[in-house]
Structure 1
């Protein structure tokens, strides 16, 4: 490789550092238990992008250098010297911008080919947790109170894809507080019509019902999940001492009450589906 190509490669590698960090944080979510491995991820990604740079430079035909016009004999005027200096500054600035743009383009192309699937994102976000409990109201269902599901139960369509991915590798239990048997029937029928039981990862026996919020909290403690997902802040607070991780579904983005409690406006937003 020519010396000019080597220098160009070094400059490009220096420029994409900050941009690469941003792309990694957006496209390669790291599991909560493996945050300490971020340097290793960055090193691997940096090596891969450096290889892409080298390949692109070797593949691109070298461009002939433009010959500079011969300088006129005689002593140049001060105005001519200033004009030449300004021109050099403009050329240098344009060259720097083009190099930045080229570095960003190559990094974008690289990350497009390694963008994780939804299944990979779900596993990483849940820190490879194997058991998950989740309430229905306000998370899986459109309705937000037991009184509402006495009339009807409606599954939120945006959450279905994430829910099915969770059932592929997690032991998932859904639960809710209801006021009567008819509410239970409406909820089960809504889940069945949405196709939640057809994936093979969730069965009706893992949809649990109780008559009080205390009973639902007791269900969670008995099951001892890695993650519990709920929209009731009191339940979240009560369980924070007993459950490894909790996800509080709330449109208001409440303050974090404990290191193991995370919040998000919706379940699908937590996994980057919106």
Structure 2
């Protein structure tokens, strides 16, 4: 009985290893081509050890079954035949069962893990380290500098994404304003939203100008990896100078350059809606 169990375990490990190799090859075809046979074997062996240890710890122990006492007398030929037939398992069925068990273990081990918002931000920004962004229509609910003379309100839906960007990127916010009071309203709104305390943004990185060309000039001087704006003219002007741009527009605009992307809102670009 012990030899049979050992042999079954060995066969299951072999089938598991073969299926694991195929699984990893499908997931990482490029990486495996660069690895030598020893590296692939080490990775597969480690994964096998981890999975089987985990499965062993999860599996409840089954107490050994007591053997029934033999009845006196010689059993009839028919009962012996029935007992023998009931204990026989076709080799093909056993092989299929082992394949299924190995596949289930691998599938459970390779269950996809949902990425965090931080991981999505870094992936979407292509690991960009510097970002410039317009305030009106992106971070603020107001849609024009004239609106900022009355009030400034941070959009609650964009706040989580904004804070994640400040964790991984050097972020500069900028806007055209018509007076000093508008500047104060914007800074107060950002401060009340917790942008300066919870994130990596400081007030010195919130820039104000008097014209739209002034904002474009800010962007060219800072040379960011990404610029985010709502003005199609600025997006078009900067397409030759900035690596990537995101055009925030309620109506999907025609793509003007391969390095220009578009989305209705900043949070929707990162799949948060």
TM range (shorter): 0.5 to 0.7
**TM-score, normalised via structure 1 length:** 0.66
Match of 1:104 in 2: 107
Alpha-carbon deviation of 1:136? 0.6
- Distance (whole Å) between structure 1 residues aligned to residue 49 and residue 115 of structure 2: 24
Query: Which structure ranks higher in relative contact order (CA pairs < 8 Å, sequence separation ≥ 6)?
Result: 1
Q: Is the 8 A contact 1:13 1:50 kept in 2?
A: no
SS at match of 1:228: strand
Alpha-carbon deviation of 1:260? 1.9
- Distance (whole Å) between structure 1 residues aligned to residue 102 and residue 252 of structure 2: 40
In the TM superposition, what whole-angstrom CA distance separates every residue of 1:137-178 from its partner, at most 9, and x where no partner exists? 121112222233333211122322332333344332211122
In the TM superposition, what whole-angstrom CA distance separates every residue of 1:46-99 from its partner, at most 9, and x where no partner exists? 986773344324664699xxxx9739xxxxxxxxxxxxxxxx89x96x987776
Match of 1:52 in 2: 47
Q: Is the 8 A contact 1:153 1:190 kept in 2?
A: yes
Q: Which has the larger radius of gyration?
A: 2
Match of 1:164 in 2: 163
Match of 2:135 in 1: 136
SS at match of 2:153: coil
Instruction: Please say which of residues 246-255 and 216-225 is displaced more in the overlay.
Output: 246-255
In the TM superposition, what whole-angstrom CA distance separates every residue of 1:165-215 from its partner, at most 9, and x where no partner exists? 333443322111223333222211111111112247323232222233222
Change (3 A) 1:210 1:169: same
**TM-score, normalised via structure 2 length:** 0.66
2:225 maps to 1:226: yes
Change (3 A) 1:196 1:98: same
Match of 1:6 in 2: 14
Q: How many residues align?
A: 230
Out of 26, 30, 49, the residue aligned to residue 39 of structure 1 is: 30
Change (3 A) 1:48 1:202: same
- Distance (whole Å) between structure 1 residues aligned to residue 146 and residue 32 of structure 2: 48
Q: Is the 8 A contact 2:16 2:106 kept in 1?
A: no
Change (3 A) 1:152 1:59: closer
- Distance (whole Å) between structure 2 residues aligned to residue 102 and residue 190 of structure 1: 52
Change (3 A) 1:41 1:11: closer
